[in-house]
């Protein structure tokens, strides 16, 4: 309960603003974002006063994404770029700025304490790493997990950066943006509480198996642990695969979660060996809130 109250208090500190006034027309802020969930966030706050385009299109992988020529052309008309710390930004963000020097770049990941990808490794019953002690894939140059959009409490921090940037770009729309921001923060609180309720009463740190370790922040927020199949961002070798199968059998894993952006061949091999099912888990789904609720129920079912 103390944890719940702390989250609510933090959320309302962020939303403690004066809200009044009608929506404004005319000015439309042209916004570019890295991934589709960010489009959801910006549209929640910007409403009719923003036009948002995502660089990573449906089905693409933000780890090795390269923009299309027409996207680079479209980017020259953007007023704001909301970065989030995904790997392709390390290579392309400076090129985006060079293509449009007047574009304001806002790092929505600023102020968020990221967890290392190695944090998401797991250990067998004897305390041995089933991956033979090898480190997990490092998504970014600093080896930190970039999937900060999969935790409602962390999205509330990102939302404040979005609000501030929109108000700066369009001061006349302040009351409109602030009203939308307050509503969005309330939705995030409700979503967070709903997900906490989904996992209420579960044993300490129950585990679920994933191919790609995208769900670390989600797992941390709701007292879960993810078991990744990937080894340093690559498919496991034969010895690693054998250890994974043995561990999954020992833990009675019945579900393996896979992203549509990745091949599910290895996951299906493991699933066939242990009698498990393969279930999609898309961290980049456009209907962000509905997707997190749906994934919460899927993870809960996998823990039974």
pLDDT tens per residue, range 13-57 = 554 443 333 344 468 999 999 999 999 999 999 999 999 999 999
- Residue ranges and CATH numbers for the domains of the chain are 2-109+146-193 (3.40.50.1980), 199-302 (3.40.50.1980)
234 contact partners, CB below 8 Å, separation of at least 6: 137
Report pLDDT for 9. Answer: 52
Q: How far apart are CA 213 and CA 120, in angstroms?
A: 7
Phi, psi of 89 (to 5 degrees): -65, -30
Share of the chain above pLDDT 70, in %: 82
Confidence (pTM): 0.84
Looking at the chain, list the stretches that DSSP marks H as alpha helix, in order from N- to C-terminal side: 2-14, 36-46, 69-75, 88-99, 152-169, 174-198, 216-221, 238-250, 265-274, 288-302
């Amino acid at each position: 309960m103390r944890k719940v109250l702390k989250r609510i208090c933090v959320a309302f500190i962020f939303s403690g603003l004066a809200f009044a006034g009608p929506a404004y027309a005319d000015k439309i802020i042209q916004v570019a974002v890295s991934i589709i969930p960010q489009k959801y966030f910006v549209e929640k706050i910007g409403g009719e006063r923003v036009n948002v385009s995502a660089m990573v299109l449906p089905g693409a992988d933000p780890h090795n994404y390269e923009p299309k020529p027409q996207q680079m052309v479209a980017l020259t008309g953007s007023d704001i770029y909301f970065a989030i710390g995904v790997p392709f930004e390390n290579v392309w963000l400076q090129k985006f700025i060079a293509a449009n020097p007047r574009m304001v770049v806002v790092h929505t990941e600023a102020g968020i304490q990221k967890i290392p990808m190695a944090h998401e490794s797991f250990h067998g019953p004897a305390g041995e790493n089933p991956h033979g002690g090898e480190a997990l894939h490092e998504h970014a140059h600093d080896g930190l997990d970039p999937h900060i959009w999969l935790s409602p409490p962390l999205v509330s921090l990102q939302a404040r950066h979005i609000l501030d940037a929109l108000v700066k770009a369009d001061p006349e729309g302040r009351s409109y943006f602030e009203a939308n921001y307050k509503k969005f923060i309330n939705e995030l609180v409700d979503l967070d509480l709903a997900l906490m309720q989904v996992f209420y009463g579960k044993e300490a740190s129950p585990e679920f198996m994933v191919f790609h370790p995208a769900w670390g922040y989600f797992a941390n927020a709701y007292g879960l642990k993810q078991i990744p199949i990937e080894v340093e961002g690559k498919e496991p070798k034969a010895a690693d695969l054998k250890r994974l199968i043995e561990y999954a059998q020992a833990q009675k894993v019945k579900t393996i979660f896979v992203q549509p952006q990745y091949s599910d061949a290895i996951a299906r091999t493991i699933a066939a060996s242990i009698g498990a099912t393969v279930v999609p888990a898309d961290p980049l789904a456009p209907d962000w809130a509905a997707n997190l609720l749906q994934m919460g129920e899927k993870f809960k079912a996998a823990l039974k």
